[in-house]
Structure 1
Amino acid sequence: MIPWLHPTDKFPPIDQAIDEPNGLLAAGGDLSQARLVSAYRAGIFPWYSPGEPILWWSPDPRCVLIPDQLHISRSMRKRLNKTDYNVEFNRNFEAVIEACSAPRKGADGTWITDEMKTAYCALHKRGLAHSVEVYIDNELVGGLYGLAIGKLFFGESMFSKVKDASKIAFIKMVEQLKKWDYALIDCQVSNEHLFSLGATEISRDRFQVYLDRYLDQTGQTHWQFGATEDQVE
């Protein structure tokens, strides 16, 4: 049995997450900004479907990408070299999360509920959640969003309306985070799309080492492509 969180309850230690389903730690609580920040700082994220209680997860192993290990295929390099697109940070966070919440092909519904969208938009206004956007002819065609805390980026979701748009967003973000000396991109749960870009899996204990080492380091505050690491508050 997993614990039920009341409004003032803290999260249990992540090593209490169950094995099946992998990483399920707790249920209940809320999506307040304080709760969400404390979750990510502890290596926990929410993931649930409409009609379910809020479910909190800390899977083992954890899918991550170390910026130095980004893999760009030859065909993807050719696509990146084209000049028919531009990539921006935080131009329209709400549009990105709205696009990410659209049902995927072959799937019913979405896990990004209205409550989730409201919560992450609030974190964006605080400067904690960020979007990466790909535009072609000024139309938003792909992107992703997540949280940045310290020198870690916690990815949440991505979308593509045209081929390779989410890959472009991801690659450009990783390249910029590498320039800012970020240590890790948390991808949460593995899939072939992420593996093709260089993601790997590490143990929960190893992930905890990254949390302990990098969460309280000074991160980037000027989320603009080309901004230097020393442009911090």
Structure 2
Amino acid sequence: MLTWLQRDSLSFPPLSKALREPNGLLALGGDLSAERLIAAYRHGCFPWYQDDQPILWWSPDPRTVLFPDELHVSRSLAKLLRQARYQVSFDQAFAEVIQACAAPRAYADGTWITTPMQHAYWELHKRGIAHSVEVWRDSELVGGLYGLAMGRLFFGESMFSRADNASKVGFVTLIQQLKAWGFVLVDCQMPTQHLHSFGARAIARADFANYLKRHIDQPNKAPWIA
């Protein structure tokens, strides 16, 4: 049985209660307050739903993650990075990045980054928890991504690209910077071939939960400036 979350409680059911089909569905309801979102990520789950659904909370098993030490950069992408065709910044245009990530995609119906979701993550950004990566071509925003930094873990949420390989440049730059700042794991949530090409891989949900316990309260070296 799925748990309906109560607005007066921030607790989530044990991750072991998540459904096998659909994989990882853990709970429904609640709200998108900053306090609940923080509690969710600390617990090992995240919201993912569309406008015509209640808020759905997920903790898939296995979990797709990327260890910064295992980042794979293709030769063609490495060449592009050396050419410095794009400029990359951090936390300079969070609202624009999340709006671009929420824009309609040709390969998908609708978006899970609803207006309430955008407002919720903007609140987390104001609290210094949610961060954006911007990719610029001259002064034009052509790619980017956003996610949450908690302890020595980064929880990736979404990315977009308006120019060839722009989001890839932003992603690789972020991972390299996270490694320098002492981060140990990037949560990619769900598997895609795109993420696997960078070295992302699946780990058991129980192993992911152990990483949370060990590292979510450890300090990192990130200044989060451009």
Give the TM bin, normalised by the shorter chain: over 0.9
**Separation (CA, whole Å) in 2 of partners of 1:143 and 1:122:** 19
**SS of aligned partner of 1:163:** coil
**SS of aligned partner of 1:121:** helix
| TM-score of the superposed pair, with normalisation by structure 1 | 0.95
* Letter matched to residue 42 of structure 1: H
Report how far residue 20 of structure 1 moved. 0.3
**Separation (CA, whole Å) in 2 of partners of 1:34 and 1:208:** 20
* Letter matched to residue 84 of structure 1: R
| TM-score of the superposed pair, with normalisation by structure 2 | 0.97
**SS of aligned partner of 2:7:** coil
* Letter matched to residue 143 of structure 1: G
* Per-residue deviation, residues 89-132 of structure 1 (Å, max 9, x unmatched): 00000000000001111222111000000000000000000000
Matches within 5 A, 1:208-227: 208-224=209-225
**Residues 1:8 and 2:1 aligned together:** no
Match of 1:85 in 2: 86
**Residues 1:24 and 2:41 aligned together:** no
**Residues 1:168 and 2:166 aligned together:** no
**SS of aligned partner of 1:116:** helix
Matches within 5 A, 1:35-54: 35-54=36-55
Instruction: Report if the CA contact (8 A) 2:182-2:221 is conserved.
Output: no
**Separation (CA, whole Å) in 1 of partners of 2:73 and 2:118:** 31
Match of 1:230 in 2: none
Match of 1:122 in 2: 123
Instruction: Report if the CA contact (8 A) 2:133-2:174 is conserved.
Output: yes
Report how far residue 163 of structure 1 moved. 1.4
Match of 1:193 in 2: 194
* Letter matched to residue 139 of structure 1: E
* Letter matched to residue 82 of structure 1: Q
* Letter matched to residue 8 of structure 2: T
Q: For the structure 1 residues 220 and 127, does the alpha-carbon distance in structure 2 shift closer, same or farther, using more than 3 Å as the test?
A: farther
* Letter matched to residue 4 of structure 2: W
* Letter matched to residue 61 of structure 1: P
Report how far residue 221 of structure 1 moved. 4.7
**Separation (CA, whole Å) in 1 of partners of 2:60 and 2:48:** 12
* Letter matched to residue 14 of structure 1: L
* Per-residue deviation, residues 76-96 of structure 1 (Å, max 9, x unmatched): 111111122100000000000
* Letter matched to residue 55 of structure 1: L
**Separation (CA, whole Å) in 1 of partners of 2:81 and 2:151:** 29
Name the Cα RMSD after superposition.
Answer: 0.9
Report how far residue 224 of structure 1 moved. 2.8
**SS of aligned partner of 1:105:** coil
**SS of aligned partner of 2:83:** coil
Instruction: Report if the CA contact (8 A) 2:148-2:155 is conserved.
Output: yes
* Letter matched to residue 149 of structure 2: A
Match of 2:185 in 1: 184
Instruction: Report if the CA contact (8 A) 2:181-2:222 is conserved.
Output: no
* Letter matched to residue 213 of structure 2: D
* Letter matched to residue 171 of structure 2: F
**SS of aligned partner of 1:223:** coil
**Residues 1:73 and 2:74 aligned together:** yes
**SS of aligned partner of 1:219:** coil
- Flag as ranges the 4+ runs of structure 1 deviating above 3 A: none
Instruction: Report if the CA contact (8 A) 2:86-2:166 is conserved.
Output: no
Match of 1:148 in 2: 149
* Letter matched to residue 7 of structure 1: R
Length, aligned pairs only: 225
Match of 1:231 in 2: none
Runs of 5+ unmatched residues, structure 2: none
* Letter matched to residue 156 of structure 2: G
